Amino acid sequence: MKPLNTVIGTAELSAWQPVPGITWVQCRVAEHANRLAKRSDSRLVVRGMAGGYLKTYEFRHSLAWAERLIRRYTRQNHAANERLSAPATARKAFCSAGSISSVDGVL
């Protein structure tokens, strides 16, 4: 367990616990801020523009939870729908005549 106000994360996405049971996640990239804002368990606590983009959200979670969140959000070259984005292959189906053809017309 890390002491209160110990900062973890990266320059674009970081977190700390100001009090036990509450974690603040600060982001400097709009993409991360949009993802955090969509979460039902988030609450915007700081918004600033001086010196660059900045938003800080509050969560009722542990710092370990924030570490996992930061790891997920900052993972490089990872598609959120990786299984769905695989190249499509021709699917085979039986015609009424009993021969095999592809559903999309290509075999």
Query: How far is it, in rounded angstroms, from Cα 46 to Cα 106?
Result: 54
Residue 26's domain spans which residues?
A: 8-74
Number of domains in the chain: 1
Longest dimension (CA), the chain: 72
53 neighbors 25 (Cβ within 8 angstroms): no
Q: Is residue 13 domain-resident? A: yes
Tens digit of each residue's pLDDT (9 = 90 or more) over 60-97: 999 999 999 999 998 864 555 555 444 444 444 444 44
Q: Is residue 39 domain-resident? A: yes
Phi, psi of 71 (to 5 degrees): -60, -45
State how far the alpha carbon of 5 is from the alpha carbons of 14, 30, 58, in Å.
11, 24, 14
The half-sphere exposure of 45 on its side-chain side, counting CA atoms within 13 A, is 15
Q: How confident is the model at residue 49 (pLDDT cuts 50, 70, 90)?
A: confident
Q: Is residue 25 domain-resident? A: yes
Q: Is residue 84 domain-resident? A: no
**In this predicted structure, what is the pLDDT of residue 3?**
84
What's the whole-model pTM score? 0.67
Query: How far is it, in rounded angstroms, from Cα 59 to Cα 77?
Result: 27
Q: Is residue 107 domain-resident? A: no
